[in-house]
Amino acid sequence: MWLLAPPPEGLSTAPTVGGMPADQPTILATSGGYRPSQRLQFEFDALVHHAVDLSGTRRSRPRITHLGTASGDQRSAGEAMTDAARVAGYDLVNLHLFPMPNLEDVEGHLLDQDVVWVNGGSVANLLAVWRVHGLDEVFRRVWRAGVVLAGVSAGSICWYAGGTTDSFGPALQEVTNGLGLLPYGNGVHYDSEQRRRPLVHRLVADGALPTTHCTDDGVGLVYHGTSLVEAVSEREGKAAYIVRQVDGEAVEERLEPRRL
């Protein structure tokens, strides 16, 4: 267990109407969540199921809302998520923002969910679209209410101060305007994309990113408030990492995750 910072003051853990929120603001930031399926495009792997477990829901069919904003709300991706949720025994709603929000009361809907899961793609575009629709502030309130915020890749980076991204082209660059619910940087796909680690180290050493939390594919990081409390994994031999600036250099610490 790693307790890195106290939860922010004033966080509300009061239940929402009809909802079963976690007992404190919770984020699960991952580089995984899916596994191959013989019948479907994919099925949910242990990280998605862990997000539901973290919610503490007692519903017979947990409620998940999926956002595919980072990939332009592709309907085929939403259908694949719906299929995976059906097999898992979850009720899933796709929140689309293109061409307009498909729900009249977005905040009210999100407050009645157990988990929000954000898919991958362009984190830069995701952040821009969310801010146009005021979702940056909505998600802060939903987080404070105890709905578990989770996601993969861009859906991980978005909750942090920033991270590394290919949103702007094949050459990885930094993004530094994340929602900032978590006051750290985030490095995803740390073991599967060779350019990620050296860029994280350079950005942390230069001060462009704060202390940065990174995940190999198949690994997730659990936060209560802004405190990192656990690393978890759906694959063997994977790890998480904390990269800090020490005397102007990046120093990396490996964290061994708990196998789900």
Q: ∠ CA 43-136-189 to the nearest 5 degrees?
A: 40
**Helix (H) and strand (E) counts in the chain:** 7, 16
Report the distance separating Cα 194 and Cα 208, nearest Å.
20
Helix (H, G, I), strand (E, B) or coil at 85: helix
- For tokens 């595919």, what's the residue? 68
Residue 171, classified by CB atoms within 10 Å of its CB into exposed (0-12), middle (13-18) or buried (19+), is exposed
Phi and psi at residue 215, in whole multiples of 5°?
Answer: -135, 130
Looking at the annotation, which residues are catalytic? 153, 189
SS (H, E, C) 138-207: HHHHHHHHCCEEEEECHHHHCCEEEEEECCCCCCCEEECCCCCCEEEEEECCCCCCCCHHHHHHHHHHHC
Q: 26: Cβ–Cβ under 8 A, 6 or more apart, which residues? A: 54, 55, 143, 146, 148, 149, 222, 223, 224
Report the distance separating Cα 189 and Cα 187, nearest Å.
7
Contact 175, 185 (CB under 8 A): no
